Amino acid sequence: MIELTDLTKIYGHGDDRTVVLDRINFRVEAGEILAVVGPSGAGKSTLAQCVNLLTLPTSGSVVVNGEDLTTLSTQKLRVARRRIGTVFQSAGLFERRTAAENVSLPLEYLGVTASEARHRVAELLDRVGLTARANHYPFQLSGGQRQRVGIARALALRPSVLLSDEATAGLDPTTTSSVVDLLRELRDDLDLSIVFITHEMDTVLKIADSVASLDHGSIVESGRLVDLLTDPDSHLGAALRPQGVAANASAGEQVWHVVYDSPDVPPDWIARASADLGSPLSVLGASVQQVGGVTIGAATLGIPDRLSSRAAEVLSRYGLATTTTTPAVEELEGVA
């Protein structure tokens, strides 16, 4: 478990002070993955450095398994920091060391015997599927393989928390999926708490249990992923949610954009709503997928103008909420 309480980082003093992180609060339980998203300049990099204590926060606490690491002496902090493994963007491997030698680096610093280190390295490379690449140098590995070496190295000291700092940035979709699958597998097998910092919203949908949005150094919105995706008023949910396609209204028809507002939307909601309205609904486009065992998504519908007064109530019966509507063509032409 890792918990941040009022974590604050300020650079400078007086009129020159810059608040980079402003009272950050979140908790990640064992076996949970929290994704932290935000635009460039939001404070994600500083947050990563404060989470693993490479940069000491100005105030607030970083608690891992019940111990506040920010209160420890330098010597004790050096030991406690082993509880947090970090996977960096582009893996951060040493080019003159083989995959096995890169993974063994934390063990060497710790003074583990050569035989113990070889056994641990072999175990870790097997776990990430790279036993056959143990003696390859980074330039001989693909981007995904280098990240797997980085993940193995981060696990060398058996941490309870794994920090992934833009670990999938720059990877192609297939490689990203393989890294995400590996992280989820490790989470399940090792009961890790994972803080996954990223700007890739598509990746969040594949990996996260919970999400926090960081902007100008503050958490502006957070929650369980499924709850955010099924909340039509959530700005973060809207940014994460698959979108319906844009479409033009036909004569006498309105275009409605609707989102799944419930985890229990029936798969045949279109047929049911059409039957209730006594007229078939036109599906102009839709994007629907499974997230955490729940179907989420959005759709663009063509609603006959004569049914618009009833449509919202009917759609709400099946867990759908209207986000925007476009008036009928003749109304738009009349205004013009």
Q: What is the pLDDT of residues 107-119, one digit of tens each?
A: 998 889 999 999 9
- C-alpha–C-alpha distance, residues 121 and 134, integer Å: 9
Q: What crossing angle do the helices spanning 143-154 and 173-190 adopt, rounded to 10°?
A: 20
pLDDT > 70: what percent of the chain? 94
**Confidence (pLDDT) at 121:** 97
Mean pLDDT, residues 38-52: 92
The token pair at 217 is 């150094």
Residue 106 pLDDT exceeds 90: yes
Mean pLDDT, residues 161-170: 93
Judged by average pLDDT, the poorest of 25-29, 49-53, 285-289, 330-334 is 330-334
- C-alpha–C-alpha distance, residues 294 and 309, integer Å: 30
Residue 78 pLDDT exceeds 50: yes
Alpha-carbon Rg for the chain, nearest whole angstrom, is: 24
CB-side neighbour CA atoms (13 Å) of 247: 24
Q: How many CB atoms lie within 10 A of CB 294?
A: 17
CB 293 within 8 A of CB 315: no
**Confidence (pLDDT) at 14:** 84
Where residue 334 falls among pLDDT bands split at 50, 70, 90? very low
For residues 245 and 100, the model is more confident at: 100
**Confidence (pLDDT) at 247:** 59
List pLDDT tens digits, range 285-303.
888 888 888 888 888 898 9
What are the strands of the beta sheet with 84-87, ordered from one edge? 84-87, 161-165, 193-197, 33-37, 210-215, 218-224
**Mean pLDDT for the chain?**
90
Give CA torsion, residues 219, 223, 226, 228, to 10 deg. -60
Where residue 326 falls among pLDDT bands split at 50, 70, 90? low
What is the pTM assigned to this prediction? 0.86
